[in-house]
């Protein structure tokens, strides 16, 4: 499987964006987000998503995100696997304030989202992500240099065993807009290697 931006299609095409084979720019719209039920009780399902479809069972997708213009609480952009409104996952950095932001991931199975985060400095303006699939299990990793990746999340997707769609997204849940930039996108062999067993 090779990366080809022409194979990517919009779910909720944004009003303003630029797209070529090496770069995607998305200008977010206010009030856009992905979240389902848990804790907050609301359901938001209107963020723009750019994805390709595959039935390949083992692969990794890598992308660099630039969110230098994010400036309002919850502004975010990153990787996504959006199957439908109740089954998806995402990884991103969400702006909080001038001092900190949250590097995190959301996994939504059967209509309920969870959110795992860690606080990082607001000085961080770019982040790489690696999304890997091993059948119906998935791994999200991040990197500040594009070479050394660290694990953010391993998860199972109950509806993720067959054909899937994966790619990028950007949104601004509150009254904000910013330009999210995606570059260095590529698809590789699965970099999340098979687990060979645990010593007892």
User: 0.75 exceeded by the pTM?
Assistant: yes
pLDDT in tens, 71-129: 999 999 999 999 999 999 999 999 999 999 999 999 999 999 999 999 999 999 999 99
**Contact of 132 with 60, CB cutoff 8 Å:** yes
At residue 2, the pLDDT reads 83
Q: Quick check: is 200 in a domain?
A: no
197 occurs within a structural domain: no
Confidence class for position 137, pLDDT limits 50, 70, 90: very high
The total number of structural domains in the chain stands at 1
Please give the average per-residue pLDDT across 125-141, as a whole number: 98
φ, ψ for residue 148, nearest 5 deg: -105, 110
Task: Confirm whether 199 is domain-assigned.
Answer: no
Q: For 151-177, what is each residue's pLDDT tens digit?
A: 999 999 999 999 999 999 999 999 999
- Residue 71 domain-assigned? yes
Q: Report residue 200's pLDDT band, with 50, 70 and 90 as the boundaries.
A: low
Average pLDDT of the residues in 43-57: 98
Contacts of 196 (CB under 8 A, 6+ apart): none
Examine residue 194 and state whether it is found in any structural domain, yes or no: no
Q: For residue 122, is it within any domain? A: yes
Q: Which domain does 151 fall in, by range?
A: 5-188
Structure tokens at 7: 């194979």
**Domain-embedded: residue 18:** yes
Q: CA 3: distance to chain centroid?
A: 17
pLDDT for the residue 140 = 98
| CATH code assigned at 23 | 2.60.120.200
């Amino acid at each position: 499987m090779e990366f080809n931006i022409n194979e990517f299609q919009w779910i909720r095409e944004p009003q303003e964006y630029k797209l070529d084979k090496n770069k995607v720019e998305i200008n977010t719209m206010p009030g856009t987000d992905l979240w389902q039920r848990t804790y907050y009780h609301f359901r938001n399902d209107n963020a723009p998503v750019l994805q390709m479809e595959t039935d390949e069972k083992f692969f990794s997708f890598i992308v660099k995100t630039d969110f230098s213009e994010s400036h309002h609480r919850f502004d975010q952009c990153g990787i996504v696997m959006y199957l439908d409104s109740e089954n998806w996952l995402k990884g991103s950095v969400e702006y909080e304030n001038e001092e900190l932001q949250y590097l995190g991931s959301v996994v939504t199975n059967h209509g309920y989202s969870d959110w795992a985060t860690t606080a990082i400095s607001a000085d961080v303006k770019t982040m790489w992500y690696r999304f890997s699939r091993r059948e119906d299990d998935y791994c999200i990793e991040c990197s500040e240099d594009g070479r050394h990746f660290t694990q953010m999340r391993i998860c199972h997707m109950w509806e993720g065993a067959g054909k899937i769609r994966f790619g990028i997204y950007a949104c601004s849940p509150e009254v904000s807009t910013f330009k999210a930039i995606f570059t260095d996108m590529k698809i590789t062999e699965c970099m999340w290697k098979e687990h060979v067993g645990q010593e007892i």
